[in-house]
Amino acid sequence: MKLPSIVRSIRSVVAWLVTMGLAGCLGAAAQTSQVIIPRVAGMPNLPQPFAMRDWSQVTRDYLGLVLDFEQLGEHLPLVGWLDNSLTMVSFPSYVGGSRDPEAVNYLAAVVSGSLVGLDMRNYRGQDWVTLGTNFFNAEEGVYVNRPRGGTGGSFWYDIFPNVLFYQLNNLYPGNSARDEQALSVARKWHEACVALGGKTDPLALPDFDHTGLNLKTMKPVDQGRIEPEGAAGIAWLEYMAWLKFKDPRFLSAADWSIRSLQTKPVAQSPLYEVLLPYGALIAARMNAEQGCDYDVAKLVNACFEPHGKLQARPGWGVISDRWNRVDAHGLVGSTTDGGGYAFAMNTFQWAGALVPLARYDTRYARDIGKWTLNLANAARLFYPNAHNAEHQSSYAWATAHDRKSVIAYEGIRKWKRGAATARADYGTVRGRIVQGSFASTEFRSDVPPDSEVFEETSGNGTPFQHIWEFDLPGAQARWLVVAAERIAGGHANNAFQFSYASRPAGPYTPVFSVTGRDSAQVVELPAVLRGKLYVKAESSDQSVGWRGPDRLAVDAMAISFQSNVGPFAQGDLVVSFIDLLKEATVPIVLYRPASATTDLGLYGSSHVGILGGIIKRTNVERILQLDLLRTDYYHAKAYPTYLYYNPYSSTKTVEINVGTEPRDIYDAVSDQVIRKNVQGCARFTIQSDAARIVVLVPAGGKVLREGKRTSIDDVIVRYSN
């Protein structure tokens, strides 16, 4: 719609005043026009209940626990040595899990410590930075997720370790060996872009619609899923490499990668796991620093907004929901799996990549500030001390060994997935129980004694059959899930047919057969069933002439349903994940015994230093200070820069320690110096539901506005759009 000329004139005057830094008298009009992130618009300004943790202290306490060789207790210590020469440590991804180290866990922990001010080259007597170089695969020229591992299984698992390495190399500069590795990494991923079709003249974009790329063969790998966000991780790596090494090939690869992300229709978001926010950040940085014109809004919204089947990972994005009277807004994960399933690693990484974006595109200041407030508050839900025993899966270990509650659960569900297990062995015909009982089917485990095992009795006529009795949960939607195995004993044409009925005598409804190795199978139960459920397993073949009887080993069986317990802190280890049904909204699981492992995930917890490095509390509760430089790696010379968001309905006065040297306080949102010549504890105001990007600049510094940039004493303090 064409605006009246008077309105256009007013807008022109306001724009000129803002550019000249003279618009303070116009109040709100002086603010940079803020971009709305639709997903953030639905989040509360004041999340409830509010309980902000000291994330810097959580980080320090976490590393103090998990990197302590002297800890004693079940599953402790969590760190050890892989060999007698002490060249690499063991470091589990879960408490109680395999001790093989993963780069996405180990390197993240080292980055986290560095972000909160610890020198990880000499922490508790070890050089954790140098130990991390064990993840470099010299043959392939890149960092890989496991020592002596390789590439090709997954874009995000192959690229993300290199992102973490580049972060570490920026935090600890000046090491020539690591710089050589960084150069190798950049060259190799540039080659990958070329192998996927990237070309400059004429322009052709690499095709990332694959599962991964084998860097030995330079051939794409396809395993039934695509991870197009690999382009985002490569864009970040290649731009960082260009900033460091100035090789124009690296800038070209970054450009190809961002362009390939932009070609995706909105409904086909490239988001898969953790890399896409890095692409959004690089798009904003290259717009600001290189004069590009990428669609930042499209990439940012793809990080937040979940979509359906066409998305690389349907339903994934940022949670904007209240879970059983608790705000879970801002967390990251599946919005559909069981009503919502957020993950610690993804949540922390989203903040690390997207918070500094506001520095390069100040239009996002308000919504990034609001989202981060919600995220930082809700992130406490990943930790055991946020819940009672009923609302978490590994309460016993956490309360016994993690007194400060610093090891997070892998994730948190909106609702616990219930599992009603068998109440009794009702009866057996032409067979016998040779091991266990109905109680042995409560948990899924690979240990044979945990199964209930039956053996057929030889003879003609009525086949073997066994019936279990269940109490049906009252939920409307219920699924019978069985993990069982036929052990062939000579009954050649046999299978074990499972069926269910509401009475022991039937009639029974056949559902599935077990013919070989343990394979969990699922069937939805009719909503009309009430009270009891009887599940029968019987031999399908009644012929004579067996060479010997078969056996049926039932590892686990349950009626899966949505319980009324929520939120529920857990992960994917205590549960044995079976399937996602009904457009990925219904998770089907069987539980594992508490002695098997825990859901306390180091590989998520190890990223907490992102919040610890970025976030500080201020004199006003719920107004946070966000350090925009802390995770803005390889940035140009900059003054201390902080984002503040005021969620209240009235103007607030915030305090900041500017140090002993005289400073001016410049606000990049309004492009104004808002306080002059201050020292020590200074104060400034923030209007209701608004943000400031505060830059601490030299007192009386020379302000220069040139094109789309504002600099003070030749240091850029603002990029306009």
Q: Is the pLDDT of residue 259 over 80?
A: yes
Query: How much is the average pLDDT of 142-167?
Result: 97
- CA 131 remoteness from chain centre: 25
Of 186-190, 489-493, 510-514, 698-702, the least confident:
489-493
- List residues bridging with 616 in a β-sheet: 625
Q: Residue 29's pLDDT is what?
A: 32
SS3 37: coil
C-beta of residue 50 within 8 angstroms of C-beta of residue 622: yes
pLDDT bracket for residue 721 (50, 70, 90)? confident
Percentage of the chain with pLDDT > 90? 89
Taking alpha carbons only, the member of 97, 94, 116 closest to residue 105 is: 94
pLDDT digits (tens, 9 = 90+) for 702-711: 999 999 999 9
Query: How much is the average pLDDT of 513-517?
Result: 90
pLDDT digits (tens, 9 = 90+) for 311-330: 999 999 999 999 999 999 99
State the DSSP string of 235-291: HHHHHHHHHHH--HHHHHHHHHHHHHHHTS-TTS----SS-HHHHHHHHHHHHHHH-
Q: Is the pLDDT of residue 22 over 50?
A: no
Q: Residue 342's pLDDT is what?
A: 98
pLDDT bracket for residue 461 (50, 70, 90)? low
DSSP label at residue 601:
B
Q: Residue 448's pLDDT is what?
A: 60
Q: What number of CA atoms fall less than 13 Å from residue 660's CA on the CB side?
A: 0
Region of 21 (left: φ > 0; alpha: ψ -120 to 50; beta: rest) is left
Q: Which of 170-174, 450-454, 590-594 has the highest mean pLDDT?
A: 170-174
Q: Residue 541's pLDDT is what?
A: 87
- 75 phi, psi to nearest 5 deg: 70, 10
pLDDT digits (tens, 9 = 90+) for 365-407: 999 999 999 999 999 999 999 999 999 999 999 999 999 999 9
pLDDT digits (tens, 9 = 90+) for 588-608: 999 998 777 899 999 999 999
Q: Which residues of 288-323 are buried (b: 16+ CB within 10 A; e: fewer)?
A: bbeebebebbbbbbbbbbbbeeebbbbbbbbbbbeb
Residue 350: count of CB within 10 angstroms of its CB: 25
pLDDT digits (tens, 9 = 90+) for 674-704: 999 999 999 999 999 999 999 999 999 999 9
Q: Is the pLDDT of residue 18 over 70?
A: no
How many Å apart are CA 390 and CA 715, to the nearest integer?
A: 54
- CA 545 remoteness from chain centre: 57
In terms of C-beta distances under 8 Å and separation of at least 24 residues, what long-range contacts does 303-306 make, across chains too? 303/271, 303/276, 303/277, 303/350, 303/354, 304/37, 304/38, 304/39, 304/40, 305/38, 305/39, 305/269, 306/334, 306/335, 306/336
pLDDT digits (tens, 9 = 90+) for 291-313: 999 999 999 999 999 999 999 99
Of 19-23, 264-268, 477-481, the least confident:
19-23
pLDDT digits (tens, 9 = 90+) for 219-241: 999 999 999 999 999 999 999 99
Q: Residue 450's pLDDT is what?
A: 83
